[in-house]
């Protein structure tokens, strides 16, 4: 039976509106009292290159900022850090959760208004004017996978890359897939990130700006480089959609759907001292054991549907 590797969390970061914390996400009163926007967010304090910032819309900026916050405690803020830590860039990947980004932005509105609204609109005239009125890179600002591209460039990640836009299930799917990718030996490090911003939506979903990120690593390589281990993650079988809908992050699903699952994990990580940090659908979070106890996992049994457990030391 192939052995699965143990996966640990070595970095975490988030940006939430004033008054909100990941642990408060299940508390309806807390969320109502909190603001909805990251008012004091300054993208330049996370991403130094103005040229890079200009190619990012708001949701990519806050996603990148959360990733920077997570990679800092992991000691991996630049491509050279990754290699210094003994990581091979091709074995370091990224898993992202994003909601659909609306094409109806200020640039498109201005371009349409420039031709005429209502019955005045002339499609042919728009076609002629588009080269001058639309932003040349607007297509790239609308693609959900560009968050992965930006983080890849920021941190030097060349490994597997997944972006999920499955609505409120996205970030738990991203974390689980990242866990499995490491556990099965296809990568040694996976950056998980998610973000929501009403600025890039057409309607009232999401209603809150939020961004979160986790750094997951193979336990053996994290221990080897002396990283701080925040918790162990054990991926279980992917839950069905109804099971996910009944999951605890319900409240945040309404507020920030793409980020909800990551915030749920972050909330459990903040529960220090618990013997068992908690289960989320398809994911178990447990404290890391002393190095001497670390042992490989075994492949889960399909018949039992059980999550992979560590074998007896």
Partner 1 sequence: MNSVWITGMGVISPLGAGLEAHRIALREASCGIRYIRQFPTERFPVRIAGEVCDPTLPHAAAGRASVLLERALQEAFADAGLSLSEPSPRRALSCALGKQTVRLETLAAALAAPETDLAQEPPRWPPTFVRDWEEREPARQLDHLAGYAGALGPAYCCYTACASGNDALGMGKRLIERGEADMVVAAAADCQVNPLSLLEFDLLDALAQGEPEHACRPFDRERTGFVVGEGAAVLVLEAAEHARRRRARARGRLTGYGSALDCFGLTKCHPQGRGAALAMAAALADARRRPEEIGYINAHGTGTILNDRAESAAITRVWGTAGSVPVSSTKSMTGHLIAAAAAVEAVLTLLALDEQFLPATLNYSTPDPECPLAVVAQPRAARFQAAMSNGFGFGGQNSALILEAPE
DSSP string, 96-149: EEEPPPPS--HHHHHHHHHH-SGGG--HHHHHHHHHHHS-TTHHHHH-TTHHHH
CB of 276 to partner 1, least distance (A): 23
Q: Closer CB to partner 1, residue 75 or residue 237?
A: 237
22 binds partner 1 (CB under 8 A): no
Among 33, 35, 86, 137, binds partner 1 (CB under 8 A): 137
Cis ω before 250 (30° cut-off from 0) = no
Q: Which of residues 240-259 bind partner 1 (CB under 8 A)?
A: 240-242, 257
Cα(65)–Cα(80) distance, integer angstroms: 19
Bridge partner residues of 210 (DSSP): 196
Q: Which of 17, 24, 239, 261 binds partner 1 (CB under 8 A)?
A: 239
Choose between 139 and 276: whose C-beta lies nearer to partner 1.
Answer: 139
Residues 60-119 that bind partner 1 (CB under 8 A): 79, 89-90, 93-94, 98-100, 102-104, 108-109, 112-113, 115-119
If 0-12 CB within 10 Å is exposed, 13-18 middle and 19+ buried, where does residue 75 land? middle
In which element (H, E) is residue 71 found? helix 58-71
The interface with partner 1 within residues 147-166 (CB under 8 A) comprises: 148-150, 152-153, 156-166
**How many amino acids of this chain bind partner 1 (CB under 8 A)?**
85
Per-residue binding letters, 195-214, with partner 1 (x by CB under 8 A): ---x--xxxxx---------
């Amino acid at each position: 039976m192939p052995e699965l590797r143990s996966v640990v969390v070595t970095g975490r970061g988030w940006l939430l509106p004033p008054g909100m914390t990941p642990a408060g996400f299940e508390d309806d009163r807390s969320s109502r009292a909190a603001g909805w926007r990251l008012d004091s967010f300054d993208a330049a304090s996370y991403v130094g290159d103005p040229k890079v910032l200009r190619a990012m819309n708001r949701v990519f900026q806050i996603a990148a900022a959360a990733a920077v916050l997570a990679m800092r405690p992991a000691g991996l803020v630049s491509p050279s850090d990754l290699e210094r830590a003994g990581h091979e860039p091709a074995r370091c990947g990224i898993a992202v959760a994003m909601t659909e980004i609306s094409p109806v932005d200020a640039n498109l509105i201005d371009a349409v208004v420039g031709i005429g609204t209502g019955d005045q609109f002339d499609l042919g005239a728009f076609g002629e004017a588009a080269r001058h009125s639309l932003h040349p890179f607007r297509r790239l600002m609308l693609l959900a996978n560009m968050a992965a591209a930006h983080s890849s460039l920021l941190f030097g990640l060349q490994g597997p890359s997944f972006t999920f836009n499955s609505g409120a299930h996205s970030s738990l799917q991203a974390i689980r897939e990242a866990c499995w990718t490491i556990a099965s030996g296809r990568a040694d490090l996976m950056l998980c990130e998610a973000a929501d911003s009403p600025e890039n939506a057409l309607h009232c979903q999401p209603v809150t700006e939020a961004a979160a990120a986790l750094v997951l690593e193979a336990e053996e390589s994290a221990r080897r480089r002396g990283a701080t281990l925040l918790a162990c993650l054990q991926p279980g079988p992917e839950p069905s959609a109804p099971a996910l809908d009944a999951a605890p992050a319900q409240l945040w699903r309404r507020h920030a759907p793409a980020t909800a699952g990551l915030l749920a994990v972050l909330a459990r990580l903040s529960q220090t001292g618990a013997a068992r940090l908690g289960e989320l659908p398809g994911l178990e979070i447990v404290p890391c054991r002393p190095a001497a106890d670390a042992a490989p996992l075994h492949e889960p049994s399909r018949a039992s549907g059980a999550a992979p457990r560590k074998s007896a030391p």
